[in-house]
Structure formats: C-alpha cells, structure tokens
Chain A
Amino acid sequence: MSLAEPAPLAVTTSAPPRLNALQRFAAGFKGSLPAYLLLLPSLIFLAAFTYGAVGRVVVDALYQRATPRAPSRFVGLDNLAAVIADPAFTGAVVNNLIYAVGTVVPSIALAFLFALALSRTNAVTSALRAALFLPVLIPMVAASALFLFIFLPNVGLLDHYIGRLLPVLPNWLGDPDIALAAIMVITIWKNAGYYMLFFLAGLQAVPEDAMEASYLDGAGPWQRLRYIILPELKPTFLFVTVIAGLNAVTQVDHVFVMTKGGPSNATNLVLFYIYQQAVEHYDVGKASAATLLSLGVLMGLTALSFRTLANREGGP
C-alpha cells in the first residue's frame, strides 16, 4: 500500500526507475480522475449490460440445470454440442441465412435505386422520399398487423387484387415453402427507405467535377454509374450491408407476431430460437450457447466495418 503514497518517494532524487514509472502512473491517474468520473456512469451501465452480459453468456453456456429448479452444474461444452446437434437450431440458422440474403440484397438494391432517382431535391422528390421512409418509423409489430391482413388467404389484400392472376391461391403465411418469403417482403418494405438515406448522403459526396467531366466525355448513364458512382459509393455499400446484416439477425419481431416460427419451423430464425429456449423451455444453458454462437458471427460481421465505424465516430 505504501507504493500508492508517492509523497515520501518524491524527495529521493535517485528513485529506482520502476517506482518512477509507478509515480508517473499515479500522477497520470490523478490528472485523469475528472475524466474517469465523467465516464463512470456510462461505464457502469456498459459493464452491467454489455461487457458483463457477454461474460454471463459465456459462463451460462457452460452450465446446465436438469430441471428449472435444480441447481446448475458445470457441463463444459455440452450445451454448445447440444445446440449444434439440435435440428431446430440448424434449421433456424439455414432459415436465417436465406432470410439474410433474401432481405439484404433486394433492400439494398431498392434503396440504391430510390436514392439514384431521388438524389435531386425538390418538392416531388421530398414527398417520394417521405413515402418510402414512412415504414421505417412504425414498429415492426404494427407492420405485422397490417401485413397479416395483406397476406390473409382469400379475402386479404394480395389475394383480392392479384389472386385472380394465379391458378391456385397460395396460403402466404401458412405454406412452409412461401412463409419465409412473405416474412422477407415485410422486412424489405420496412428497411429499404432507411438504407436509402445512407445512399442519398453518399451520392451528395460524389465529386461534382468528376460528374462534369463525364458529361463532357459523353458518358451515358450506365457508364457514369459503373465508373464514377459505384466506385465512389463502395464504403456506403459496405456500411449499409453490415447494418442490413445485423438487422437480419436482430429485427425479427414480425416472426413473433405473425408466424411464431411456423409453419413447421419454416420461419424460425436464430433470435426466435434463443427466445424459445430461454422463455418457453427455461433452458438458459442452451439459450446462452446459441447466443454465444450468434455473437461470434455478428462480431465477425461488424469487424468487417470496424475501421469505417471507428472513423465515423471520430477515432480514439
């Protein structure tokens, strides 16, 4: 403890270098104290609900209870093995991959198209932007309530208007082959307008003189897109892909409301599986193991944009 009291050491002119370093550290800490106090409230909550949560996931994944009331005992990697061997989990992973590709690609393509068409600002484009952005603001649950009727067999909006064109009326949410696609439509409808904003911001940053030069050289719209706009927007595409990828894992409220993972697990996604294990089966061990696996994948995904993210937020 005496090392923490630098006062008596300060008088000795030839203190050993190790103590000097300690002294400097103490002085540095003292000078940093106001900053630490300001950061403390944030760090407490981050420690409890972010870093601590990750720690608890790792620990919980190693323990298992025989019954909800039994004491938990250490089982090592058994939970992970059980989750990986669970066909419901692997099914959810496959569904989630299909869902991710099937929502990320079309919503980004649409968002980019919207942004290209609406990049100039006038009353008409502002109104169109607002129309495309409206779904972003409403809760996924509200979107689900509306689409529940849109997809309703026979009397629903979709069957009422385009059902006549089909030989057989599909049961949009009841058919295992179609339900996941129906769920994807809602996600695309809800998110395309959000991603559009990032492309609009990106298009603002395309250098004016490069565009002017291309007009002088007689480049057509496709050539301008291919050789000027797309290369310029590469970071935007990466950033939006990461956000859309995260959303494909985390934004699954409509599964809860519309299908509950059914029919026959066709729309079961990873987060819904985790919820089922934790809340319906009281199996925290398995839920934590599944969380751990998903965290690993998501961290990998965000690591892709780590540099972009750090720069976006102003660097350390």
Chain B
Amino acid sequence: MNPFKQLFKDAPLATRNEITPKLGFALVVLLALVWLIPFLWMVVATLRPASDGINAMAELMPSLKPTLDNIRDAWDIGDFPRYFLNTTIICTGILLVQFATVTLAGFAFARLSFAGKTLIFYLFLLQLMLVPVLLIVPNLTLVVKLGLYDTLTGVMMPFFASAFGTFLMRQAFEAIPTELEDAALIDGAGVLARIRHIYVPLSLPSFSAFAIVSVTSHWNDFLWPLMVINSPDKRPLTIGLSVFTQTAEGTQAWGTIAAGTLIVIAPLLVTFLIFQKRFISSFVTSGIK
C-alpha cells in the first residue's frame, strides 16, 4: 500500500482517494509486463543450452547453465557483419542526402517568399499522404530503368526527399531570429553561407530528431529492399534476419533464432535506452513519416 501511495503523492488532493485510477494503473503495470515477455523470452532462450531440450524452450525461467553457444551459432550461420554494413550504408546514405535536401527546402519555406509557395507546400504535403510503401511497384520499375536494380543506391533513392524533414527544418529555421542573419547579410554572405554558418548550427536538435526518425524507419524497412535487392551479399539486416529465420526454423533451432533476433535489435535498443528522452520526443513530432 505504501509504495502505491508514494506513486500517487503528486496527484491532486481531491483524486487521491479514488479507486479507478489506481486500478487502471495496476492494469497498465500488468500489461507492461506482458509487453516485455517476448523480449524476456528472447534473452532467456538465447542463453539456454541446447541440452535443455525442446520442451524447456518456452520456459521463461533462465537456464542454470547459461551459454553463449546460440550467439556463436547465429553469428556463424548468418552473415550479420555484412548485413550490418549494408544497413548502415543505406541509413547513412539516405540520411546524408536528406540532410542536404531538407535543409535547402526547409530554408526556402522558412525564410523566402516566392511565387507558388502555397501550391508547392501542398505538393510536399502530398508526400505525407501518398504513403511511399504503397508505391513499390512503380518505383521498382523506375529503379530498374535507371539501372539501379540490386544496388544499395536503388534502395536509398526513393527516400532522398522528405516532406516530414522539410517541415521539421522549416519550423526550426523560423524560430531563429532574423537579426542574426542581418549581420551576415551586411557582411555580404550568400544564401548558402548563411544556411551553413547560422541556420544549421542553431538547429542541431531538430537535425538529431529527424535523424532518429529517419534512421529508425529505414533500419527497420523490409518490403522495399526485398523488392530491390537480389544478391545475398547486398541484403540489409531485416532481409538477412528473415532468411536466417527461415533457415533456422527448418531445423527447429529456436535458441539460434532468438540469438539472431537479439543480434539484430540490440544496437537500436541500446541506443534507445541511452537516449530515451530524445527518442520519445522525436517520435512525437513524427506522426506520418
């Protein structure tokens, strides 16, 4: 009872004796535990020796003889370093080009007045509404025509422009006082120099928010790379993991599957646990990507 009271000590006085909110809270605690079960199983199963047998596989109690064999097996079967490399190249490539395109476009929307601004704003907004995932078929034909089938560049290209990023940078740039820019204008700095030396350095939090959303979504992308990539050595992590899972499922090697999954998701989870606050606030701004 006491720790419970402790939790509600900052609740308004009038509500402190109410039962319903406390019941709701208890229910959510229970659900949060349920939500963690797949992760718990993943870790426990990864560390479980094969000698425990298939019937113990579902036990959530950790094995008394933990082993790293599963991780070693997974590492041997799947070409994870290669998958990591490919995914890193894809995410970095997309992000670098996006930084350039969204900074320039964001600046145009934030600080310049031009003919057709409303029209172009809605053209950008259209990208948020036409979900890119649905356009896999026409985009695949274009990528093939450009000679980029089965290349990492082909995987990256459709994401080089980002309406979400443009609007995010626009918002950041609009918040920067024009006085700062006036000084640079007097010194005769051109548009690009002003963006580079005034706007970008003052908008780093927005860039990091955008980077978090962009990298997470492309790190996890599956269907589009599945369409574009054919060669095994160009597979990103998601496709590598699905092929790996199918192979290991055939031999009922569930400990190995758990280990492979752990290897794939560990980097993002660790990054999240370190930068939790930043992740959460970035995702709130995202909505439709």
A-side residues, CB < 8 A to B, are 25, 28-29, 31-32, 34-36, 38-39, 41-46, 48-54, 56-57, 60, 110, 113-114, 116-118, 120, 122, 124, 126, 128-150, 152, 155-157, 159-161, 189, 193-194, 197-198, 200-201, 211-212, 215-216, 218, 220-222, 239, 242-243, 246, 249-253, 256-257, 271, 274-275, 278-279, 284, 287-288, 291, 294-295, 298-299, 302-303, 306, 309-310, 312-316
Contact = CB atoms under 8 A, between A and B. Distances in A.
17 contacts: A39-B105, A41-B101, A41-B104, A42-B105, A49-B135, A52-B138, A54-B138, A134-B35, A137-B269, A138-B220, A141-B241, A146-B42, A148-B245, A150-B41, A249-B131, A310-B122, A313-B163
A68 to B, nearest CB: 13
B239 to A, nearest CB: 8
A139 B225 CA distance: 13
A113 B197 CA distance: 46
A300 B158 CA distance: 23
Nearest to A25: B115
Interface string B108-132: 1000111111101111111111111
Nearest to A24: B115
Contacts of B226: 256
B48 interface: no
A56 B142 contact: yes
Q: Chain A: interface secondary structure?
A: helix
A114 B58 contact: no
Contacts of A51: 123, 126
Interface residues of B, number: 113
B256 to A, nearest CB: 11
Interface string B235-270: 001110110010001000010011011001100110
Contact of A54 (B24, B41, B135, B265): B135
A96 B260 CA distance: 30
Interface stretch (B5-13, B63-71, B177-185, B201-209): B5-13
Nearest to B42: A146
A215 B265 contact: no
Interface of B: 7, 10-15, 18, 20-21, 24-25, 27-29, 31-33, 35-39, 41-42, 45, 54-55, 57-60, 100-102, 104-105, 107-108, 112-118, 120-142, 157-158, 160-163, 166-167, 170-171, 174, 191, 216, 219-220, 222-223, 226-227, 237-239, 241-242, 245, 249, 254, 257-258, 260-261, 264-265, 268-269, 272-273, 276, 279-280, 283-284, 287-288
B31 A278 contact: no
Given A32-B113, A136-B283, A142-B261, 17 more contacts: A35-B112, A36-B114, A49-B135, A51-B126, A53-B138, A124-B7, A131-B33, A149-B254, A157-B41, A189-B35, A194-B283, A215-B13, A256-B223, A274-B134, A298-B129, A299-B129, A315-B121
Contacts of A28: 115
Contact of A149 (B105, B124, B257): B257
A46 B132 contact: no
A252 B133 CA distance: 10
Q: Chain B: interface secondary structure?
A: helix
Given A149-B257, A157-B37, A130 B24 contact: no
Contact of A291 (B20, B134, B174, B265): B134
Nearest to B118: A316
B45 to A, nearest CB: 8
B171 A143 contact: no
Contacts of A57: 135, 137-138
Nearest to B245: A145
Contacts of B219: 139
Given A284-B141, A288-B138, A137 B268 contact: yes
Given A189-B38, A288-B138, A299-B129, A140 B220 contact: yes
A140 B11 CA distance: 37
Contacts of A110: 31
B237 A139 contact: yes
Contact of B58 (A25, A157, A216, A309): A157
Instruction: Please list the 5 inter-chain residue pairs (A to B) with the smallest Cβ-Cβ separation, ordered nearest first.
Output: A32-B114, A160-B58, A45-B161, A35-B114, A215-B14
A212 B237 CA distance: 51
A37 B231 CA distance: 38
Contacts of B191: 34, 38
Contacts of A291: 134-135, 137-138
Given A161-B58, A250-B133, A215 B12 contact: yes
A139 B118 CA distance: 36
Contacts of B24: 113, 116-117
Contacts of B11: 120
Contacts of B60: 157
A120 B11 CA distance: 8
Contacts of A279: 227
Contact of A271 (B133, B166, B284): B133
A34 to B, nearest CB: 6
A215 to B, nearest CB: 4
A157 B11 CA distance: 39
B64 to A, nearest CB: 18
A198 B216 CA distance: 18
A309 B220 contact: no
Given A48-B142, A117-B24, A124-B7, A139 B32 contact: no
Most interface-central of B37, B161, B227 (chain A CB within 10 A): B161
